[in-house]
Amino acid sequence: MRIFPAIDLKNGRCVRLYQGDFAQETVVNPDPIAQAKAFSEQGATYLHIVDLDGALEGKPINLDVIRSMKKAANLPVQVGGGIRHMKQVTFYLEEAGIDRVIIGSAALENPDFVRQAVTLYGDKIAVGIDAKNGFVATSGWLDVSTTDYLTFAKEVEKIGVQTIIFTDIAKDGTLEGPNLEQLQAMQQAVNVDIIASGGVSNKQDLEQLVQLGLYGAICGKALYNGNISMAEITEVENLAN
């Protein structure tokens, strides 16, 4: 299993939110470039970056910062937040050197966009499915649709998406452990790579995700507050592989 240290960007700084609430923001590092480099030096193998400003605005906002982070870390990077058009996808993948882009809200609102992106870029396209009470949320988690998360997962699999990043919003930033039940249900419903996001609080949580047979897991708040170290992440990755 691959474990992705998370860097969420807001106003040019690294922040953590509680259950996706922009009003409950904690700045964890004012220098995201230094943070990306630190994760790399501590043994990270891949970074997960979210442009929170972009998610709200519906367009990438922190492009220059993200490009500098990629250069400083010298690691594979996946990026999400406000990616709604092919021009943005092409910029990230072809000009900024990003390795994978994550399409979130636009995947539900415009499946043809996802289809076009997958046709052109294959496994460099991931879809982020963020769920609240089992229903897909959009627009920086501000709106909740009537689409069930498993139904949507099956739809994007049919389009050709090979990677899904699943977040249970109720777990995000809470350190209460991931939603193993929903993750297991998704693992059984579709035949794609699933990355778990939200709720990871310690090494044991990561080991439980390994047991589910998931492709990956994202670790944010637990890393920043010291509940888990990069050394432990590396240890779990090595055991899982």
- Enumerate the active-site residues: 8, 130
For residue 137, give both structure tokens: 């949320």
H or E element that contains 63: helix 63-73
- Residue 137: phi and psi, rounded to 5, are -105, 150
Q: Which long-range contacts (CB under 8 A, 24 or more apart) does 229-235 make?
A: 230/5, 230/39, 230/42, 230/43, 230/44, 231/42, 231/43, 232/203, 232/206, 233/3, 233/5, 233/43, 233/44, 233/206, 234/43, 235/203
